[in-house]
Amino acid sequence: MDEYMTGNRELWNELALIHERSEFYDVEGFKAGKSTLKSIELEEMGDVSGKSLLHLQCHFGLDTLSWARLGAKVTGADFSDKAIALARSLSNEVRIEANFIRSDIYDLPKALDSKFDVVFTSYGILCWLPNLERWTEIIAHFLKPGGIFYMIEIHPLKTVFNDSEDTTELKVTQSYFHTPELLKWEPKGSYADGNARVSHPSYEWTHSLGDVLNALICAGLRIEFLHEFPVVSYPAFPFAEKDKAGW
């Protein structure tokens, strides 16, 4: 397992540098004051002013810092050395106070001794987690009594379909359900830059919606709502079309 997690960290170190330059992330727009948070999470999370917020798998921190602009006291954690270095640099450049920690998510309790009002995570995080039960234990560990965990994620049903660059239709190519075997992909570009050259493979795991909910329940969390939407935040398929709201 260490081999796969190390390989994924090398991949995300590479992607952090690609994404910093991409139009998708629009770092210059963020520096000028643009928020990277989207309408769904803003509406469902509500007012975060004055709340302590832990952002798990924060990549290079744009969403983390966007929550800070809304008044949250933020901490971001990610396993990518390059991403965390970039997040710290951006925090200093835009003069937004934030704490960024480089840690594998499963080792985070060894690196961070705090409790939070909110634990947040978003968009494309589940496939990098080999152990959901341990992940939900980490979430519960960092929540204050009465705190909330909020996740907005790509629906796991998406993973069953072929998303290669030449596909023209929804065609089932893999199982919806979790299997012990991981999936190895040789990336051709990135979701943020399809033309980027990526040299490291990715190692991923599938989890159904039931897997996720049951893992959260087993960690002692109470499910307050589950909302599903007919949109996604990035071009999940080559034939995907952007609507007027940017979804």
What CATH number corresponds to the domain at position 81?
3.40.50.150
What local confidence, expressed as pLDDT, does residue 246 receive?
Answer: 87
Residue 166 has pLDDT above 90, yes or no: no
Is residue 225 situated within a structural domain?
A: no
Place of tokens 């190895």: 184
Is residue 242 situated within a structural domain?
A: no
What local confidence, expressed as pLDDT, does residue 236 receive?
Answer: 87
What average pLDDT does the chain have?
Answer: 95
pTM: 0.96
Is residue 96 situated within a structural domain?
A: yes
Q: What is the mean pLDDT of residues 229-246?
A: 90
Query: Domain count of the chain?
Result: 1
Is residue 247 situated within a structural domain?
A: no
3-state secondary structure (DSSP) of residue 56: strand
What local confidence, expressed as pLDDT, does residue 227 receive?
Answer: 97
pLDDT band at 238 (very low <50, low <70, confident <90, very high): confident
Place of tokens 């991923």: 204
**Is the model more confident about 240 or about 114?**
114
Is residue 123 situated within a structural domain?
A: yes
Positive or negative: CA dihedral 121, 123, 127, 128: negative
What local confidence, expressed as pLDDT, does residue 107 receive?
Answer: 97
The winner for highest mean pLDDT among 103-107, 188-192, 194-198 is: 103-107
Q: For residue range 35-65, what is the model confidence (pLDDT) as tens digits?
A: 999 999 999 999 999 999 999 999 999 999 9
Residue 1 has pLDDT above 80, yes or no: no
**Is the model more confident about 235 or about 112?**
112
3-state secondary structure (DSSP) of residue 161: strand
Q: Which of 234, 158, 161, 227 is CA-nearest to residue 192?
A: 234
What local confidence, expressed as pLDDT, does residue 54 receive?
Answer: 98
Residue 189 has pLDDT above 90, yes or no: no
Residue 81 has pLDDT above 90, yes or no: yes
What local confidence, expressed as pLDDT, does residue 180 receive?
Answer: 78
Question: Could you tell me what percent of the chain has a pLDDT over 70?
Answer: 100
Q: For residue range 193-230, what is the model confidence (pLDDT) as tens digits?
A: 988 999 999 999 999 999 999 999 999 999 999 999 99
Residue 73 has pLDDT above 90, yes or no: yes
Show the domain range for 88.
2-23+41-218
What local confidence, expressed as pLDDT, does residue 165 receive?
Answer: 80
Is residue 227 situated within a structural domain?
A: no
What local confidence, expressed as pLDDT, does residue 84 receive?
Answer: 98
Is residue 94 situated within a structural domain?
A: yes
Is residue 157 situated within a structural domain?
A: yes
What local confidence, expressed as pLDDT, does residue 98 receive?
Answer: 98
